[in-house]
Amino acid sequence: MSEKIVGKVVNYYSKISVAAIKVVDDCIAIGDTIRIKGATTDFTQKVESLEIDKKPVKIAEAGASVGIKVKERVRPNDIVYKVY
């Protein structure tokens, strides 16, 4: 499996388990497998929901700020990889 950096965590909302992610390269789409890695974070999951400005979307292109429901706690500056 290969990985490519697609974004960075900018915020984490613990009550709703949502990571705010800035997409910097490529895109993130529903169904993609992503890996979030940082100093104390390292897990892989499938993208099951994406929101831009509180509206559901199917794909987030480079430059977008997107909310993704995550299964574990993440921290600002954690790196988001797309797994192929």
Q: Where are the domains of the chain?
A: 3-83
Output the pLDDT for position 26: 97
End-to-end CA separation in angstroms for the chain: 6
- Any idea which architecture 3-83 has in CATH? Beta Barrel (2.40)
Q: What was the pLDDT predicted at 36? A: 98
pLDDT (tens digit, 9 = 90+) per residue, 73-82?
Answer: 999 999 999 9
Assign 36 to helix, strand or coil.
Answer: strand
Instruction: Yes or no: say if 46 and 32 are a contact pair by the CB < 8 Å rule.
Output: yes
